[in-house]
Every structure is written in C-alpha cells, then in structure tokens.
C-alpha cells in the first residue's frame, strides 16, 4: 500500500490516480477541513477497496504513528503543506508551524514503525531564492519568505533522519507544476478565469534599468511531475534531492498570449511589479535526474495549455469566441 498525504490537493490527486492505474492500493490522507480539493474527481471510476480515505490532522504525532503502524505502507509520499508564498508572508507562524510539524511527525512515525516505509518529501524550487538560474541541486539554499523557509527546514529534517536514523527518504523539488485541477492561485487558473471572462490579465515582472522584464518560470505538466515523483520513490538515492522541472524558462507574458490564443479571446495585459521575495527568473537544471534516473519531461508548454483549456472551459461554462 502507498500512503499519500495532501491526497485531495492538485498534485496529490493526480499522484493517487497514477498509483491506482499502476495497480497499487492507496491510503489517501487529507485534512478534516478541506479547502479547494479534488475529492469528487478522485473517486470517479475507481473500484471499491483500492483506495482508503482517511481524514486527519497530521499535526497529531500519536495519530500519525497509529496510522502508519496500522496500515504499514511501503512508501509515504508527503505532499501535505500550506503552499502560498504570498499568504505565508502574512501568516508566517501558521505556515512554519504546520509545514514543519506535519513533516516531522511523518518522519518520526516512519522511523518508529517496522518495517519503515520509504518517504518521499515534496519540497519546492522556492528554496533557491533569487539565485541565478539554471538552478541545480548543489546550489546552497537561499529561501525567501516563510513558505520557502519551511520547505528548506523540511529538507534539513529529512537529511537529519537519513543521517541519524538511517531512514530511507528522498527529496523532490517541484518547480511550477500546472495542469488540470490546479488551484485558484496557480497562474494557469488565474489567467484562464480572467481571459475567459474578458478581464485584463496581470503579468508580474520587474523594471530593470527602466525596462520592464516579465518574470520567467519553469512550467512542468502535472503528469510529468507525478511520473518523476513515482520514479524517485523507486530509484532515487537515499538523502538525495532531485529537481522536477522542464529546465526551460517561459515568460509569463508569453504564457498569457498562448492561453489567449487557445481560448480564442484577446484581453488587455497589465504589467505589475513582483513582490520583493519573488524571483524574476527561475528555471531548473534537470540534468541530475536525467543522468541518474533516465527521466525527461514529455509535455511541452503548448500542449499543457491546450489540455488545461480543454479541461477548463466545459467546467467554466464558457465557449470559445473570436
């Protein structure tokens, strides 16, 4: 059995679908007070008995130990986290306490239970901060903001449990994961909502020497990110960190125009300055995962946008217009 925390979130729900498709049984753990979630979509079409749903607060160490001891999962994919950069700046205690405590409880439970499951911790490219890309795993972390800090501390916890207790654990650093069912704060959803309703889209960037430069990001399709995560759970080396990105910088302004093209509607583009903790440029060096695990992403940006729009429009109730 595979255990997935953050099971009903964007990436977690896609991960569970992939695991179920491969024949695994899945223990899907979500918070009792779900916000945006993919629970209904996750349960469609899956045979009874293949997936076990558990609603619990991972901040309770006793409950986490009881859960892992009872089900004895082979692997634990820890995706549960509060994950907004901007909200974390306003609520640092909430983000740090939640993200660090939940991971610590999972690691401690995995250590104390026999046999110990392999743990895959999903970190974030935000730990790199504003360093110059391409961003490789051997760069020293430079997190900015409480969310990024919580992920870096999480990585150090994982390394500590590997070194001190011999726990089998691996870290993946997600870049900008996009695709169907993405949350409302992800740029694909933000742009699609505004374009389909005829509202202006805001493109973040920074004015450098009097010239506005749109931000660039490394967008990776959720299916590719999930495939990489599963691969790491089998072949990733203990205590190692692996970037999960396409390794290509994409201008968010170019993304806006590509989405307008696919939706079939032009809207005004409004340029906005990035927040101080946000990087102007960010994209991965994914050579390590390609070299060590033989993995490379399959889905190009245009296909990501097309797939997302085709999924989004029927649910939005919007038809294409010219």
The pTM score is 0.94
Confidence of residue 278 (pLDDT cuts 50, 70, 90): confident
Given a contact cutoff of 8 angstroms between Cβ atoms, the answer to whether 129 and 143 are in contact is yes
> Who's near 265: CB < 8 A, 6+ residues apart?
195, 196, 198, 320, 321, 322
> Who's near 152: CB < 8 A, 6+ residues apart?
123, 127, 141, 143
Question: Per the structure block, which two tokens stand in for 140?
Answer: 């020293």
pLDDT attached to residue 317: 57
Per residue in 280-321, pLDDT (tens digit) is 999 999 999 999 999 999 999 999 999 999 999 998 854 444
pLDDT attached to residue 3: 98
Closest CA to 189 of 178, 202, 174, 200: 178
Per residue in 16-65, pLDDT (tens digit) is 999 999 999 999 999 888 777 777 777 665 555 789 999 999 999 999 99
Closest CA to 191 of 160, 163, 167, 214: 214
Confidence of residue 322 (pLDDT cuts 50, 70, 90): very low
> Who's near 45: CB < 8 A, 6+ residues apart?
none
d(CA 95, CA 79): 14
Closest CA to 245 of 279, 277, 290, 203: 290
Per residue in 151-194, pLDDT (tens digit) is 999 999 999 999 999 999 999 999 999 999 999 999 999 999 99
Cα 156 to chain center, whole Å? 19
Question: Per the structure block, which two tokens stand in for 101?
Answer: 């405590």
Q: Strands 26-30 and 201-208, how do they pair?
A: unpaired
Average pLDDT over residues 83-102: 94
Per residue in 229-275, pLDDT (tens digit) is 999 999 999 999 999 999 999 999 999 999 999 999 999 999 999 98
Rounded percentage of the chain residues whose pLDDT exceeds 90: 88
pLDDT attached to residue 320: 45
Domains of the chain in sequence order? 2-177+219-244 (3.40.50.720), 178-217+248-281+300-316 (3.90.25.10)
- SS (HEC) of the chain: CEEEECCCCHHHHHHHHHHHHCCCCEEEEECCCCCCCCHHHHHCCCCCCCEEEEECCCCCHHHHHHHHHHHCCCEEEECCCCCCHHHHHHCHHHHHHHHHHHHHHHHHHHHHCCCCCEEEEEEEHHHHCCCCCCECCCCCCCCCCHHHHHHHHHHHHHHHHHHHHCCCEEEEEECEEECCCCCCCCHHHHHHHHHHCCCCEEEEEEEECCEEEECEECEEEHHHHHHHHHHHHHHCCCCCEEEECCCCCEEHHHHHHHHHHHHCCCCCEEEEECCCCCCCECCECCHHHHHHHCCCCCCCHHHHHHHHHHHHHHHHCCCCCC
Given a contact cutoff of 8 angstroms between Cβ atoms, the answer to whether 58 and 64 are in contact is yes
d(CA 94, CA 146): 9
Per residue in 118-146, pLDDT (tens digit) is 999 999 999 999 899 999 999 999 999 99
Per residue in 186-209, pLDDT (tens digit) is 999 999 999 999 999 999 999 999
State whether the Cα torsion 83-88-91-97 is positive or negative: positive
Given a contact cutoff of 8 angstroms between Cβ atoms, the answer to whether 100 and 154 are in contact is yes
């Amino acid at each position: 059995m595979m255990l997935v925390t953050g099971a009903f979130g964007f990436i977690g729900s896609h991960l569970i679908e992939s695991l179920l498709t491969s024949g695994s049984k899945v223990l899907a753990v979500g918070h009792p007070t779900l916000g945006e979630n993919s629970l209904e979509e996750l349960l469609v079409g899956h045979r009874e008995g293949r997936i076990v749903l558990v609603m619990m607060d991972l901040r309770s160490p006793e409950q986490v130990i009881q859960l892992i001891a009872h089900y004895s999962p082979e692997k634990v994919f820890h995706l549960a986290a509060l994950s907004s950069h901007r909200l974390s700046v306003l609520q640092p205690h909430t983000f740090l306490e939640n993200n660090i405590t939940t991971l610590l409880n999972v690691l401690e439970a995995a250590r104390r239970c026999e046999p110990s499951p392999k743990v895959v911790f999903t970190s974030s490219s935000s730990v790199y901060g504003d360093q110059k890309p391409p961003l490789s795993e051997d760069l020293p972390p430079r997190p900015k903001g409480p969310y990024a800090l919580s992920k870096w501390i999480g990585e150090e916890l994982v390394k500590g449990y590997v070194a001190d207790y011999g726990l089998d654990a691996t870290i993946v650093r997600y870049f900008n994961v996009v695709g169907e069912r993405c949350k409302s704060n992800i740029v694909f959803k933000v742009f699609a909502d505004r374009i389909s309703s005829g509202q202006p889209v805001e493109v973040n960037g920074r004015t450098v020497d009097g010239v506005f430069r749109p931000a660039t990001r490394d967008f990776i399709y959720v299916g590719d990110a999930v495939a990489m995560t599963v691969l790491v759970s089998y072949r990733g080396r203990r205590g190692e960190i692996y970037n999960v990105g396409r390794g290509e910088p994409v201008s968010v302004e170019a993304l806006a125009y590509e989405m307008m093209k696919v939706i079939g509607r032009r809207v005004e583009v409004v340029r906005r300055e990035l927040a101080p903790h946000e990087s102007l440029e960010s994209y991965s060096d994914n050579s390590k995962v390609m070299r060590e695990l033989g993995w490379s992403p399959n889905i190009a940006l245009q296909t990501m946008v097309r797939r997302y729009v085709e999924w989004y429009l029927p649910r939005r109730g919007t038809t294409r217009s010219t």
